[in-house]
Structure 1
Amino acid sequence: MPKGKGAKGTKVTLKIAKKAIRMTLDGRRRLTLSNMGITVFPKCLLKLTNVDELDLSRNLIQKLPDNIGNISSLRWLDLHSNKLESVPESIGNLVELAHLNLSNNRLTSAGLPSALGFLNSLKSLNLGMNQLDTLPSTMVALDSLQELGLFDNLFNNLPEFLNVLRDLTKVNMKRNPVSYAQGDGEGMLKAKSEPEEDEYLIHESSLCRTCLKRCKEQRERLTRGGGEGGNMFKEKRIRTYTGLTVPNSVATVNQDVWRIRKV
């Protein structure tokens, strides 16, 4: 565990980072520095040229280095739940990147670079829970994109180029002010007049003892169909996840909330 946590947050050195690298089950080198109180992006990470996956989620990072594109080996990058307001153009150099999570930050449309369109290997992009109302038009070049999260933003219109992306099969546009119109085979949905209640996943280790107990009790009631409204719950049972408790935060993307487009 990194030392030196103080007014400037946790300090991560190159030595600490190298020791924290672990091999995944599929043989990739993964560096996890999540939920550590990091306030400044550790520039020493730019010297790591053989890391495949980097997790800096749930920290307090406000800015990414201009040369973040130097970590060219990255295939998976998780920066959700930080304080990012923009993304540097150099991110377009991460041409091997297949999964990018920027959800639950402070991103505005002006802070999204046109270079996002250079990520030709990108399969999953999560931009949910930000302050976006448009996307860079260059994203029309993301031919490999399969999943896109835009939930909890400020979109008044569905980005038109989404219909051009042939591999795009899952789009989450929930809780935006967008007005959907029934399209001809375009997979658009009619807006609901009432907000829909959704559930998010968070690992049990991130909950206090009281919240964990409360969530487990609620999950048991819903699963068994007990308590008030038991007959209703018998018809709609929740799905359980190993090591995960619902509902709560956005620590992990719940794939069940993706809206599947009709093609």
Structure 2
Amino acid sequence: MVKGKKAEPKGKKITLKVARNAMRMTVDGKRRLDLSNMQIATFPKCILKLADVEELDLSRNLLQKIPDTISRFVNLRWLDLHSNQLDQVPESIGKLQNLAYLNLCNNRLGPGSLPMELGLLKGLRKLNLGLNRIESLPASIAALRELRELGLFNNMLTSIPVYLSTMPKLGRVNVNCNPIRPTDMKDLDPIKRVRSLHLVQEDCLCGGCLEKCTERSLWLEKRQSESGTERKPHFSSGLLTPNSVAMQDQALQR
């Protein structure tokens, strides 16, 4: 390696031909570019030539950064970036005015990782920020008046923003596994809290997700054993798969 030259992250290189072969049609006739689980470490510049797609799936890869050029995907209504290594969300994401679904679950997002520009996504209905290191939310989240579901589970939140209880269409919020005091839970309408358990096929989970689910399961078993009580879980109907087009909503409920 040439001295002074920064090494690029190792990973699979995506060509325009590979990207075109990854194009799919959704059940409702939308164009979907599915590059999930392909060991991609660097955002493929070639896919900018396919920026007219409505759905983009880059989940379960090795991405450390999403470039500002993501703003060129002006037709996007669905963006899945879960299970990568992202520690920052670009400000340019606020230009995706048609976005209705955004999944940033299971990354490395922490303090200062979420830009205020998230509040510009006026049509956003579902936002998943679970399994990160988030300590607080930008105040601009309150501007998401169309938001229906919000995943905040497994983060570092110590309190619940008061504005969540005033958002008119927000019906489900998952704040499980955060260091929030029980007395602070009153700031969130009980109807909005998500505490149900959903089944997921193990072979559809990335290594990180599977490890965290296993640890959580063992902890629950130990707690039930010590208390001497048996807790009957509430299951959703059917098995849910993280990248299923038909059940794309499930990530918020994990």
Question: TM over 0.5, yes or no?
Answer: yes
Aligned to 2:3: none
| SS of equivalent residue, structure 2 residue 20 | helix
Answer yes or no: is 1:59 the counterpart of 2:61: yes
Structure 1 residues 56, 145: closer, same or farther in 2, change over 3 A? same
Structure 1 residues 244, 48: closer, same or farther in 2, change over 3 A? closer
For the Cα contact (< 8 Å) 1:201–1:253, is it kept in 2?
no
| SS of equivalent residue, structure 1 residue 111 | coil
Aligned to 1:241: 238
Higher helix share: 2
Structure 1 residues 256, 111: closer, same or farther in 2, change over 3 A? closer
| Unmatched runs of 5 consecutive residues or more in structure 2 | 1-8, 211-229, 243-247
Measured against aligned partners, the alpha-carbon deviations of 1:77-130 in whole angstroms (never above 9, x if no partner) come to 000000000011000000100000000000013011110000001000000000
Which letter maps to 2:109? L
Please say which structure displays the higher CA radius of gyration.
1
Answer yes or no: is 1:27 the counterpart of 2:26: no
- Pairwise CA distance, 1:46: 2.2
Name which of 16, 19, 38 aligns with 2:18: 16
- Pairwise CA distance, 1:69: 1.0
Q: Does 87-96 or 160-169 show the bigger shift?
A: 160-169
TM-score, with length taken from structure 2: 0.75
Which letter maps to 2:36? S
Which letter maps to 1:76? W
Aligned to 2:172: 170
Q: Does 158-167 or 124-133 show the bigger shift?
A: 158-167
Aligned to 2:200: 201
Which letter maps to 2:68? D
| SS of equivalent residue, structure 1 residue 109 | coil
For the Cα contact (< 8 Å) 2:197–2:234, is it kept in 1?
no
Counting matched residue pairs gives 220
Aligned to 2:89: 87
- Pairwise CA distance, 1:161: 1.6
Which letter maps to 1:137? A
For the Cα contact (< 8 Å) 1:122–1:142, is it kept in 2?
yes
